[in-house]
Amino acid sequence: MYSVAALDADVVSQAIYGTTVEQITPKGRIQAPEEWMYIKTPDDYPGWARRDEFVPLHQKENYAGEGKHLLVVINRTANVYREADVTTHAPLLTLPFETTLEETAADGKRWFKVRLVDGHEGWIQSGDVQERPTGPLSIDETIALAKKFLGVTYTWGGRSSFGYDCSGFTQMLMRWHGVYMPRDADVQAAWSGVVAVDRKELKPGDLLFFGSSPKEITHTGMYIGNGEFIHDTTNSHPMVQISRLDDQPWTKMLVACRRPK
């Protein structure tokens, strides 16, 4: 998703495979090329995207909608194949963590048959997916989930395991904890769904916000205890990593601590 209808514009966010998005009207009298759409993702984040990357959503064909048997990708990435075999052909798709798919059949052992967004079918290995969870993860489970992504590269605007940015990473973690936060770090810090906490009172699962001042927040991460936090950053090594809060530049840049209500 781009800030304007051009591939050389800055990326603002991402819409993940299988996600239902809403086409909306941009503010002002913006005349965009026909091949572009202005969309909004389920977290109410707007941006421009190429029209040919989407398929129309018809009510009778609501992908991954109510009444469907759904599977969610639980590994960092997962391949979908045209048949239940990894050697015969290259994967049809490689999908990121959290992708939701419609199950249509299973072989009872290793494979699930799934329907794809375009109506075609493919096979995915059972070890790559699970049924959609019905309840939120605990804080300990959320931190364990976060550590699965250590080493995933930093990607500006990223919201998937192909590459997160800092706020996309914490937004994903909190979503699995049952908390649906806004997209950007500064908006997250000001959000009504969190309360301020003192640095001395930090608990695992609290959110940390960094910047030059409380009004200029540029980074976020999750506190995991023992003076450490996990985050996706370009500092030193551009990837998901664990840092110490007392180390520079973090101890100087910490401007806000928040706890979900």
Q: Which residues are catalytic?
A: 166, 219, 231
Q: Which helix (H) or strand (E) holds 221?
A: strand 216-225
Q: Which helix (H) or strand (E) holds 171?
A: helix 166-176
Q: Where are the beta strands (DSSP E) in 93-215?
A: 93-96, 100-106, 111-115, 121-125, 129-131, 159-160, 163-164, 194-196, 207-213
Distance CA 252, CA 238 (A): 20
Contact 21, 30 (CB under 8 A): no
Q: Is residue 249 reached through a cis peptide bond, with omega within 30 degrees of 0 on the bond before it? A: yes
43 Cβ neighbours under 8 A, 6+ residues apart? 171, 180, 181, 182, 183
Q: Which helix (H) or strand (E) holds 169?
A: helix 166-176
Looking at the DSSP assignment, which residues form a beta bridge with residue 209?
220, 256
